[in-house]
Chain A
Amino acid sequence: MPVTTIGGREVHVDAEGFLTDPAEWDEDLATALASAIGLELTERHREVLRFLRADFATQGETATTRRVQAVGGFPTRLQFELFPTKPAKKMAYVAGLPKPRGCV
């Protein structure tokens, strides 16, 4: 399991850079993860991230774009505005969660 340094901290990540231990995440790390993919977090971003973290804690897997809309109440269009082009992957990355499961 690769270890990398983000925001001056050592964290465990998978081959694509997603955190493998959600417990290593906090809101400061989110700021660093976001800047690694060219995003500056606003309070609106953080609301989405808090939903993702809380949902993961109860469900055990990363919410899909649809679930972030249907359960979290953040419309898909807003997700694209906040996390452009690839919101599902970017939201998971910044929230320190596994990449949303590949649909099979």
Chain B
Amino acid sequence: MRRLVVLGAGTAGTMVVNRLRPRLEETEWSITVVERSTVHRYQPGYLFLPFGAMRPEDVSRPVARTLRRGVELLTAEVDRVDVDAREVLLADGRSLPYDYLVVATGTSPRPEETPGLPEALGGDVHEFYTYGGALRLAARLADWTGGRFVVHVAEMPVKCPVAPLELTFLAEAYFRRQGIRDRVDLTYVTPLSGAFTQPVASARLGDMLVTRGIAVEPDFVVESVDGDAHVLRSYDGREIPYDLLVTVPVNMGADLVSRSGLGDELNFVPVDRHTLLSRASDRVFAIGDAADVPTSKAGSVAHFEVDAFVENFLEHVEGRPMTHAFDGHANCFVESGDGRALLLDFGYDVEPLPGTYPLPVVGPLSLLRETRVNHLGKLAFRHLYWNVLLPGRRMPVPARLSMAGKDVRAAADPAPAGATWKE
């Protein structure tokens, strides 16, 4: 009997076990997934919880109900992986031998990485990257009467890099609906040089901030949060005052990755970006947010990774070369408020471009343009997530990035020579 052990039953880990179970004979392979939580959360829903647009029960299911028959669930805390001995050591002292290991332990917010932030959280400083944090922000917004509203990203990479922008757009629309928009100053504070990372999308999203009267503070590397003085401070001496701060703390991979000697300085697992095989062991893969691949940390990426990974894994365990290269494909809805959304579709070698998706001309979704249909697509996705994606059924979109429907003429001109960053 060969043993596959998967660490983490989040979006990526759940898809891995549910997709592999029917492909691996039960008489030849055991599949065990180790997860410390008993509840699976639909994390894209955290964006809507602060505005009452989704209910807590919409984003939660028991982990046990998300797994196929034939997958063994172990509810336990992992201490570390012993790569040489090929076993997972659990915090309660048990050990779990494996033939192949998949690390799918994701990423989590680390307020303690920013001086002053742990102490400041809870009062006028909030985060929405945890279930509890999103609900506390909802409670705070419900009786907020206006002032300086600051959305802040501590450091890249963060899970779902468009989420902080979406929260800003949704908050601006929310303040208008509450009739207090004229009493709110909004500022978006980012370590990036613009609203987003890639040229065409950054320009488009930056324009959307400007037209909504939202100020942008770029290139802001935070040094500390002063909860008493209500100020964000940067290493280059800037201070941003706030009355209500929503911050996205530093995101890091699981500590067990570090304890196992499998991680980089942010506890992400260095892997081959096309096969997801760990650079440390040919018995270990990392997938989803846990891997260090240079694309977005997002559920859509996990989905497209799993499509390639399943075929690669079956080849790899038979001693054959892996032939299904993952192309960095990411597909992200961006809520822009007032019942509209944009869609971004990109990969390692293709930046987000305007156009239609998944089909040319007819779409029905529009790339890089705000539409009602995109918003309905994002809302519908929650049902697809629970009922199609997690169980490992076929999604109605291709896994590989396609240029069909994309307007390549919009690709950014190279930055002007003369290096504008040097000032």
Which A residues have a C-beta under 8 Å from some C-beta of B?
Answer: 2, 14-17, 36-37, 65-67, 70-71, 76-77, 80, 84-86, 89-90, 93, 101-104
- Nearest CB of B to A2, in Å: 7
- B interface residue count range (under 10 / 10 to 19 / 20 to 34 / 35 or more): 20 to 34
Give the CA-CA distance A76 to B295 in the complex, in Å: 25
Query: Do residues B295 and A104 form an inter-chain contact, with CB atoms below 8 A?
Result: yes
Bound-state CA distance A17–B248 (Å) is: 32
B421 and A65 within 8 A (CB) = no
Asked if B320 lies at the interface with its beta carbon under 8 angstroms from chain A, I say no
Asked if residues B236 and A84 are in contact (CB atoms below 8 Å), the reply is yes
How distant is the Cα of A101 from the Cα of B156 in the complex, in angstroms? 11
Chain A nearest CB: distance from B234 CB in Å? 9
Least Cβ distance of B304 to chain A in Å? 14
Q: Is B396 located at the chain interface by the 8 A CB criterion?
A: no
A71 to B263, CA, bound (A): 12
Asked if B161 is at the interface (CB within 8 A of a chain A CB), the reply is yes
The distance in angstroms between the C-alpha atoms of A90 and B419, with both chains bound, is 11
Report the Cα distance A85→B223, complex, angstroms.
Answer: 13
Residue of A nearest to B295 (CB): A104
Closest chain B residue to A80 by CB distance?
B235
Residues of the B chain whose Cβ atoms lie less than 8 Å from the Cβ of A14: 414
Chain B residue nearest to A64 (CB atoms) is B265
A–B pairs, 9, beta carbons within 8 Å: A14-B414, A15-B416, A16-B415, A17-B422, A37-B422, A76-B221, A77-B235, A84-B236, A103-B156
B319 within 8 Å of A by Cβ?
A: no
Q: When the two chains form the complex, which single residue of B161, B219, B417 contacts A104, counting CB atoms closer than 8 Å?
A: B161
Q: Which of B197, B330, B421, B423 contacts A103 (CB 8 A)?
A: B197
Chain B nearest CB from A29 CB (Å) reads 16
Closest chain-B Cβ to A97's Cβ sits at a distance in Å of 15
Most buried by B among A36, A80, A101, A103: A103
Asked whether B192 is an interface residue with its Cβ less than 8 Å from the other chain, the reply is yes
Residue on A nearest B158 in the bound complex, by CB: A103
Q: Taking A2-B417, A15-B416, A17-B419 as contacts, is the C-beta distance between A101 and B294 under 8 angstroms? A: yes
Nearest first, the 3 closest Cβ-Cβ pairs linking A and B are A103-B156, A70-B265, A17-B419
Residue from A36, A89, A93, A102 within 8 A of B197 (CB atoms): A102
User: Are A86 and B421 in contact, with the CB atoms below 8 A?
Assistant: yes
Q: Are A66 and B421 in contact (CB under 8 A)?
A: no
Roughly how many angstroms separate A103 CA and B156 CA in the complex, as a whole number?
6
**Beta-carbon contact of B295 and A65 below 8 Å:** no
A20 to B423, CA, bound (A): 21
Which chain B residue lies CB-closest to A13? B417
Could you tell me the distance in whole angstroms from the C-beta of B236 to the nearest C-beta in chain A? 5
The reply to whether A67 and B265 contact each other, CB–CB distance below 8 Å, is: yes
Which residues of B374-423 have CB atoms within 8 Å of chain A's CB atoms?
414-423
Instruction: Flag whether B63 is at the interface (Cβ < 8 A).
Output: no
Asked if A89 contacts B421 (CB within 8 A), the reply is yes
In the assembled complex, the Cα of A89 lies from the Cα of B417 at a distance in Å of 15
- In the assembled complex, the Cα of A70 lies from the Cα of B264 at a distance in Å of 10
In the complex, besides A15-B415, A77-B223, A93-B419, 12 extra interface pairs with C-beta distance below 8 angstroms are A2-B417, A16-B415, A17-B422, A66-B265, A70-B265, A84-B236, A89-B421, A102-B198, A103-B156, A103-B161, A104-B330, A104-B346
Which A residues are in CB contact (< 8 Å) with B265? 66-67, 70-71
What is the CA–CA distance of A60 and B13 in the complex, to the nearest angstrom?
29
Whether, in the assembled complex, B155 has its beta carbon less than 8 Å from a beta carbon of chain A, the answer is: yes
B197 touches A104 (CB 8 A): yes
A85 touches B236 (CB 8 A): yes
Q: Of A84, A93, A104, which contacts B157 at CB under 8 A?
A: A104
Q: Chain B contacts of A84 at CB under 8 A?
A: 236
What residues of chain B lie closer than 8 Å to A16, measured between beta carbons?
A: 415, 417, 419-421
Alpha-carbon distance A9/B221, docked complex (angstroms)? 34
Q: Which residue of B lies closest to A63 (CB)?
A: B265
Least distance between A26 CB and chain B CB atoms (Å): 21
Cα A15 to Cα B198 with chains together (Å): 16
A85–B265 Cα distance when bound, in Å, is 23
Decide yes or no whether B266 CB sits under 8 A from chain A.
yes
